Amino acid sequence: MAFSIKRAAFMAVGGYLAFLFYGAVPKNINERFKYRAVQAFSKFLNHVVYVGYFTDPDSPRGIIRFRETWAATEIFFRSGESYGPDVKMTKVLADGVNVNIYSPPGHTDSLLPGFIYIHGGALALCDVEHYDGLTRKLSAGLNAVVMSIDYRRTPENIFSVPFDDSLKATKWFMKHAKDYNVDANRIAMGGDSAGGYLTATVSQAVSDDKSIPNLKLQVLIYPWLQTLDLNTPSYQKYNYEFGSGGIMPLHKLAIYSALHLFGENTDKSVVEAYTKNEHVSAGFRNSKFYKERLSHSLIPESLRNPVFYTAPPDPVEEPSHGSSVWDAKKDIFQDERMTPLFRKNLSGLPPAYIITMEYDPIRDDGIIYAKLLEKAGVNVTWKNYEKGFHGIVWVSPGIDFKDGDGIFQEMIQYIKPRL
């Protein structure tokens, strides 16, 4: 009897682990097992939210519980000191915004360059502690003082709170640069995913503010730059390769897109409109401005393979769903602080280093921004990694992608001589 119980328990655990690791993963993707492990970890946290809190992990309350559950696991993946063991970290309140400031090892009488980092996590997940390893690694690699911004997140805080926090902290750092042995004229900014979005918008705002120096560089790592078109070629490729699985399925991106505008008032009808790509009015999709700034023709033809890609027809009627979303938030959708691709004058912005990944639904956001910046005369370096995926650069004890480190080192080699 005891043997049967043990055997049944063993089979149940084995079956559950197999379920967690199951899912479509393209053969060409780098480090497939580690990718599956990250995907399995996310599934597991969703199950904890379901069972432990009796709530839908895709609801606003569920997102908060998911974040809290993830934070609780940090005890098993303690700090990222191994990525910069001699880097000193100090917690500071920067004009009301919590930040971590990292100083590289060694003493020097001359001023150092600075780098402002804004973390990813769809504006709802992660914090500066999750990114402790990456920011330590950045400080050591650049021999620069790094400020990591802990902006307030959705769903509790909606647009434009993450932007406002990031801009306030950035201005504070520039004005207090000498206090941290930093040359205010040698500061760059970067971020991944949602942090890439905030990097783009804050870079634009800093460029407009003549009371502070312009940034030396903007570094966008697989940036999330728009939520108006959730059917670009990269979204279609991701759906073809992963279906509803992977790290970044469409329904998840629809949820996080909606949370940024609706916060805790996000309901299923709003998410459904985003999922069906019916949240923007047909009239605006037909506008010359929309077609100039979000045209699929901006994506290289080689990345619009007809095996998975179908060009969208011109909308001729208002959709049956989604017009209420547009009517409620159309001014915000068109605000450059929400959609940096919509800034009318992109000239004069700092040089951009833009990284995109082939297996990433938001790949095309970075490509489109690179094309628009180039057209405006901004110096742009764009790199697309054909076997890469969203999140590959992030590091934490237990989750460290070898190929991500290679991408990171290339980034360091680009940034360091330009600071």
Instruction: Show which residues are catalytic.
Output: 193, 360, 390
Token pair 């742009």 in the structure block, residue: 380
Separation between Cα atoms, residue 270 and residue 257, nearest integer Å: 10
Cβ-contact 224, 122 below 8 angstroms = yes
State the pairing for strand pair 145-149/97-103.
antiparallel
388, amino acid identity: G
- Closest residue by Cα to residue 252 from 66, 386, 119: 66
290, amino acid identity: Y
- Closest residue by Cα to residue 338 from 286, 260, 244, 274: 260
CA 25 to chain centre: 21
Q: What are phi and psi of 218, to 5 degrees?
A: -120, 125
Please give the structure tokens belonging to residue 240. Answer: 């073809």
Question: For residue 315, what is the DSSP state?
Answer: P
Cβ-contact 355, 407 below 8 angstroms = yes
Peptide bond into 155 cis (omega under 30): yes
Q: Is 385 helix (H, G, I), strand (E, B) or coil?
A: strand
Cβ-contact 120, 194 below 8 angstroms = yes
